[in-house]
Amino acid sequence: MPLLDVRDLSVVFQRKGAKPFTAVDGVNFTVEPGQTVGLVGESGCGKSVTSLAIMGLLPRRGNKVSGEVRFEDTDLLKLRPQELRDRRGRDIGMIFQDPLSSLNPVLPLGLQVAEVLERHQGRTRQAALREARNLLDAVGIPDPTRRLKEFPHQLSGGMRQRALIAIALACKPRLLIADEPTTALDVTIQAQILTLLKQLVEESGTALVMITHDLGVVAGLCDTVNVLYAGKVVERAERHDLFAEPRHPYTHGLLQSVPRLDVDRGGRLHQIRGSVSDNIPWPEGCAFAPRCDRVNDACIGETVPLEPTFRGGALRCTNPVPQEVPA
């Protein structure tokens, strides 16, 4: 049984006097225990909204969430706020993009880590702080005893992100959702954090949902990758398959348009023409059709379904990039 099973998740933002906006449109994916699953896409594709919807962190008003988010055998979307609060931080941890704005600037670090332990494990402040020290040590923060009394502004960006990881992993959750955890960091610090995440996830057997726009990060970390475009999953594959033989024209184009460090200085980059349109025209066909090189009549008119591929992935395309026939 999958640990997390997201079925037909949709999020529609509604505002008075404005057209409803579908940010996430029927997203399906599963996460097995201990697995690392990637959600990749460009800004506005709905990857962050998906993660917020799973955690029940979207504002209560102004949006409509439908579908199912099954965590083991409970549907998280049906839980009452109180029940959800009991699970957040205990069963599911979350790491956000900007560590400075997700830490409380007026509370010492130790208290922020200990808080989670007090809330979920009913420990005393003393015991929680002792455990907090060990957690900070485990994520590689130097001199953890002194750090307990310090404030977020006294730490560098990389250290803040480590602290955030310590908070997320405090209760040994079975699932960790990381929303662009390294986007605000420099590459050498990013390498530190990714190595740490990988190590912790392997040691504790925590499943990880990695949300990122960086295809390079996904290539090194994820078992299965979901590519999102305009609120829908357009392609899902095991990472080796996805990078070796992308089938969806969007994935294909995206991979070709990334300048790569290990390729000689070339002429032009492949470019995907145009840009993501604001109103998602999925009901009238494929949202990528206006930018697609392989567009045909079948792409316009009705929604293209997500079909399973024989390699265990899934693809939403009527005219996919041909596969090389194995010899």
Partner 1 sequence: MSEALVEIDDLKVHFPIKSGLLFDRTVGYVYAVDGVSLKVKRGETYGLVGESGCGKSTLGRGLLRLVEPTSGGITFDGTDVRSLKGEEMRLFRRRIQMVFQDPLSSLDPRQSVESLLVEGLKAHGLHKDKADVQKRLKSTLDSVGLPASALNKYPHEFSGGQRQRIGIARALVLGPELIVADEPVSALDVSIQAQVVNLLGDLQESLGLTYLVIAHDLAVVRHISDTIGVMYLGSLVEEADGDQLYERPLHPYTRALMSAVPVPDPQVEDRRERILLAGDLPSPANPPTGCRFHTRCPWAQPTRCADERPQLRVFDDSGQRVACHYAEEILSGELKMHEVRAEIVRPDSDTAPDVGAELIQTRTDLPAP
Residue 275 found at the interface with partner 1 (CB under 8 A): yes
- 7 CA to centre of own chain: 16
Burial pattern 181-190, b for ≥16 Cβ within 10 A else e, equals bbebbeeebb
Cβ closer to partner 1: 125 or 149?
149
Give the footprint of partner 1 on residues 225-244 (CB under 8 A).
239-240, 243-244
Q: Is 68 in the site for partner 1 (CB under 8 A)?
A: no
Do 161 and 141 form a contact (C-beta atoms < 8 A)? Answer: no
Scanning 170-289, the segments in alpha helix (DSSP H) are 187-204, 215-221, 239-244, 249-257
Residues 6+ away with beta carbon under 8 Å from 140: 162, 192, 196
Instruction: Kindly tell me which of 267 and 305 has the beta carbon lying closer to partner 1.
Output: 267
Q: Smallest distance, Å, CB 222 to partner 1?
A: 9
Of residues 101, 257, 296, 323, which one binds partner 1 by CB under 8 A?
A: 257
Per CB under 8 A, does 279 bind partner 1?
Answer: no
Distances (CA, A) of 121 to 61, 133, 166: 31, 16, 16
Which position among 254, 299, 314, 321 is part of the footprint of partner 1 (CB under 8 A)? 254
End-to-end, the C-alpha distance of the chain in Å comes to 36
Candidates 92, 95, 176, 272; binder of partner 1 (CB under 8 A) is 272
Binding residue count for partner 1, defined by CB under 8 A:
58
Kindly give the pairing relationship between strand 92-95 and strand 175-179: parallel
Does the footprint of partner 1 cover residue 324 (CB under 8 A)? no
Q: Which of residues 95-134 bind partner 1 (CB under 8 A)?
A: none
Q: Is 258 an interacting residue with respect to partner 1 (CB under 8 A)? A: yes
Q: How far is the CB of 322 from partner 1 (least distance, A)?
A: 20
Q: Does 255 bind partner 1 (CB under 8 A)?
A: yes
Q: Pairing relation of β-strands 314-315 and 307-308? A: antiparallel
Closest CA to 140 of 89, 95, 192: 192
CB of 204 to partner 1, least distance (A): 16
CA 173 to chain centre: 16
Is residue 19 within the footprint of partner 1 (CB under 8 A)? no
Is 33 or 216 the residue whose CB approaches partner 1 more closely? Answer: 216
Q: Please identify which residue in 17, 142, 322, 326 interacts with partner 1, judged by CB under 8 A.
A: 142
Q: Is 141 near partner 1 (CB under 8 A)?
A: yes
With beta carbons less than 8 A apart as the criterion, state whether 103 and 118 touch.
no
Q: For residues 151-170, which are near partner 1 according to CB under 8 A?
A: 153-159
Contacts with partner 1 by CB under 8 A lie at 42-43, 140-143, 145-146, 153-159, 186-192, 194-195, 198, 213-220, 239-240, 243-244, 253-255, 257-262, 264-273, 275-276
